[in-house]
Structure 1
Amino acid sequence: MDPRLHQAIEYDDVDELHRLIVEDRKLLDRVSEEPFPNTPLHVAAAAGKIQVAMEVAILKPSFSRKLDPEGYSPMHLALQHKHYHTVRALMTLDPELIRVQGRCGITPLHYVAGKEGDDELELLAEFLSACRSSIEDLTSRCETAVHVAVKKHNLKAFKVLFGWLKRVHMTRILNWKDQDGNTALHIAASEGQPKIIKLLIGYTDVNAKNFQNRTALDIFLVNVHFDEGLAKRLCLRSTSTLSLSQFLSMELTHFEKYLYIFGIQNEATLNIILIVATLIATATYQAVLSPPGGYWQDSTSNPPANSTVVTPNSSSIAVEKPHQAGNIIMSGSNLYFFAYLNSTAFYVSVLSIGVSALSLWPNTRIVYFSLIILGFAYYTFLVIEFPKSFSVVGVFALAFLWSLPFVGLVLPWLSWREHFRVVSRVDATRRQISDIPGLKE
Structure 2
Amino acid sequence: MTLQDAIAADDVNQLYRLIEGDINLLDHESEGPFPDTPLHDAAGNGKTKVAMEIAILKSSFPRKLNRGGYSPIHLALQNKHYDTVRALMTLNPELVRVHGRGGITPLHFVAGTIVDNEQDNVKLLELLAEFLSTCNSSIKDLTNQCETAVQIAVRAGNIEAFKVLFGWLKLVHLTKILDWKDQDGDTALHIATSERQPEIIKLLVKYADVNAKNFESKTALEIFKESPSGSPDVAKRFHDEGHQARHYTPTLSLSQYFGREQKHSEKWARFFNVQDKSNRDMIIVVSILIATATYQAALTPPGGYWQDSSSNSTFVTANSSSIAIGKPHEAGGIILSGKRLIVYSIYNSVAFLASIATFLAAALRLERSTFMVCFNVELFCFAFLISITTQIPETDMAAQDALMLLLWFSLPAILSFPIYAMYKTLKLASVRRRVDATWRHLENFPGSEDGK
Alignment of 1:10-409 (within 5 A): 10-116=8-114, 117-225=121-229, 226=231, 227-235=234-242, 236-238=244-246, 239-241=248-250, 242-254=252-264, 256-258=266-268, 264=274, 273-292=283-302, 294=304, 318=326, 320=328, 328=334, 332-357=338-363, 360=366, 364-366=370-372, 368-387=374-393, 390=397, 394-409=403-418
> In 1, distance between residues paired with 2:266 and 2:346?
32
Give secondary structure in 2 for the equivalent of 1:181.
coil
Distance 1:237 1:298, change over 3 A: farther
> In 2, distance between residues paired with 1:324 and 1:221?
82
Report what 2:320 is aligned to: none
Give secondary structure in 2 for the equivalent of 1:146.
helix
Q: Deviations over 1:313-343 (max 9, x none)?
A: xxx95565xx887665655544433332322
Q: Which moved more, 1:117-126 or 1:54-63?
A: 54-63
> In 2, distance between residues paired with 1:420 and 1:68?
45
Which residue of 417, 423, 426 maps to 2:435?
426
Which residue of 420, 424, 431 maps to 1:415?
424
Q: Deviations over 1:51-94 (max 9, x none)?
A: 33333333434333333332222222222221222222222233
**Bigger radius of gyration among the two:** 1
Q: Deviations over 1:124-168 (max 9, x none)?
A: 112222322222222111111111111122121112112222333
> In 2, distance between residues paired with 1:198 and 1:392?
61
> In the TM superposition, what is the alpha-carbon distance from 1:16 to its structure 2 partner?
4.1
Q: Which moved more, 1:366-375 or 1:145-154?
A: 366-375
Report what 1:8 is aligned to: 6
Distance 1:237 1:30, change over 3 A: same
Amino acid at match of 1:431: R
Give secondary structure in 1 for the equivalent of 2:378.
helix
> In 1, distance between residues paired with 2:228 and 2:350?
65
The higher relative CO (CA closer than 8 Å, separation ≥ 6) is in: 2
> In 2, distance between residues paired with 1:130 and 1:263?
30
> In 2, distance between residues paired with 1:266 and 1:130?
26
Give secondary structure in 1 for the equivalent of 2:447.
coil
Q: Deviations over 1:338-378 (max 9, x none)?
A: 33232222223333334444555767545542442232122
Report what 1:312 is aligned to: none
> In 1, distance between residues paired with 2:307 and 2:236?
71
Amino acid at match of 1:237: A
Distance 1:394 1:37, change over 3 A: closer
Kept in 2: contact 1:255–1:412 (CA 8 A): no
Report what 1:313 is aligned to: none
Q: Which moved more, 1:71-80 or 1:249-258?
A: 249-258
Distance 1:139 1:329, change over 3 A: same
Long gaps (5+) in structure 1 = 309-315
Amino acid at match of 1:221: K
Q: Which moved more, 1:205-214 or 1:390-399?
A: 390-399
Distance 1:149 1:288, change over 3 A: same
> In the TM superposition, what is the alpha-carbon distance from 1:118 to its structure 2 partner?
0.7
> In 2, distance between residues paired with 1:210 and 1:107?
25
Alignment RMSD (CA, Å):
3.6
Distance 1:29 1:151, change over 3 A: same
> In the TM superposition, what is the alpha-carbon distance from 1:109 to its structure 2 partner?
1.4
> In 2, distance between residues paired with 1:103 and 1:263?
40
Distance 1:440 1:223, change over 3 A: farther
Give secondary structure in 2 for the equivalent of 1:177.
coil
> In the TM superposition, what is the alpha-carbon distance from 1:36 to its structure 2 partner?
3.1
> In 2, distance between residues paired with 1:378 and 1:191?
60
Q: TM-score if structure 1 supplies the norm length?
A: 0.82
Kept in 1: contact 2:266–2:427 (CA 8 A): no
> In the TM superposition, what is the alpha-carbon distance from 1:175 to its structure 2 partner?
2.3
Kept in 2: contact 1:296–1:324 (CA 8 A): yes
Give secondary structure in 2 for the equivalent of 1:402.
helix
Q: Which moved more, 1:177-186 or 1:255-264?
A: 255-264
> In the TM superposition, what is the alpha-carbon distance from 1:196 to its structure 2 partner?
2.3
> In the TM superposition, what is the alpha-carbon distance from 1:439 to its structure 2 partner?
6.9
Q: Which moved more, 1:145-154 or 1:171-180?
A: 171-180
Amino acid at match of 1:429: T
Distance 1:25 1:382, change over 3 A: closer
> In 2, distance between residues paired with 1:9 and 1:274?
55
Q: How many residues align?
A: 429
